[in-house]
Homo-oligomer: A and B are copies of this chain.
Amino acid sequence: MPEEARLTTRVEIWTDINCPFCYLGKARFEEALAGFDHRDDIEVVHRSFELDPGLPAGETGPVIPRIAAKYGISVEQAAANERAIGAQAAQLGLPYQTTGRDYGNSFDMHRLLHFALEQGKQDAVLDALYAGNFAEPEPVFADTERLVALAVRAGLDEAAVRAVLADPDAYADAVRQDEREATQLGATGVPFFVFDNKYAVSGAQPTEVFTHALTTAWNDRPAPLVITAESDGETCGPDGCKI
């Protein structure tokens, strides 16, 4: 029977590679985590949220004219927004290209992030995808070779990555399940952080908001399991079945 409390706090972060505030929010969360006493007992999982799931898989292009056209603002305003985000990134020491990033369908990237989770490399792969999109001039959307290169840079096996990308069903259900869960939780935008299914932080908040959330969740972390029957039922273990 369990005798110790479950010691970790689990943080789930819904995110999209198209989302600059997800890139910034991750850095702020990590700043809070680095200063948190119990950081080694915090488990982080990245979950999928597509900003624009209806976008055809092959469509990509520069983000500034796209934003201007889609939201009915001027190209100048869209470019100014990018510069404003770039200034915030600079304060965090994050590289950000304010004129060169593209937009595109991120479904394959999310599938890859689920594969990477299994491989214990999800965080590194997300960092590589963010860097590829926000900090490096080469396009990352609709370009399998670029995606493979980023994934391999993060430590994934090349053949395995190609196999995942070549099979459109691989991890597709896992992506959709994440998105359904985001809807159930009421998340309409990202980044969206959930601590132990109990506390939430919406958006790229200041570092101290994440520190507060980590502290609150840690202090209220799940109690030991409550065994609901007086006696154990029949079980099998390494030493055989107790009959």
Nearest B residue to A21 via CB reads B234
Q: Find out whether the CB atom of B216 lies under 8 angstroms from the CB atom of A228.
A: yes
- Counting every copy of the chain, the complex holds 2
CB A233 to nearest CB in B, in angstroms, measures 2
Nearest B residue to A242 via CB reads B189
Q: Find out whether the CB atom of A200 lies under 8 angstroms from the CB atom of B228.
A: yes
Contact of A235 among B84, B120, B191, B239 (CB under 8 A): B191
CA distance A202 to B3 in the complex (A): 13
Q: Find out whether the CB atom of B81 lies under 8 angstroms from the CB atom of A21.
A: no
* From A2, A25, A199, A239, residue with most partner B Cβ within 10 Å: A2
CA distance A197 to B2 in the complex (A): 12
CA distance A137 to B77 in the complex (A): 72
Q: Find out whether the CB atom of A67 lies under 8 angstroms from the CB atom of B227.
A: no
CA distance A237 to B202 in the complex (A): 12
A149 within 8 A of B: no
A213 within 8 A of B: yes
CA distance A226 to B196 in the complex (A): 11
Nearest B residue to A202 via CB reads B232
Q: Find out whether the CB atom of A240 lies under 8 angstroms from the CB atom of B25.
A: no
Residues on the B chain within 8 Å of A209, using CB: 228-229, 233
Nearest B residue to A3 via CB reads B186
Nearest B residue to A24 via CB reads B234
- Of A12-20, A93-101, A124-132, the one contacting chain B is A12-20
Q: Find out whether the CB atom of B240 lies under 8 angstroms from the CB atom of A71.
A: yes
Q: Find out whether the CB atom of B233 lies under 8 angstroms from the CB atom of A186.
A: no
Q: What would 5 A/B residue contacts be, using CB atoms closer than 8 Å?
A: A188-B237, A198-B225, A199-B227, A202-B227, A206-B233
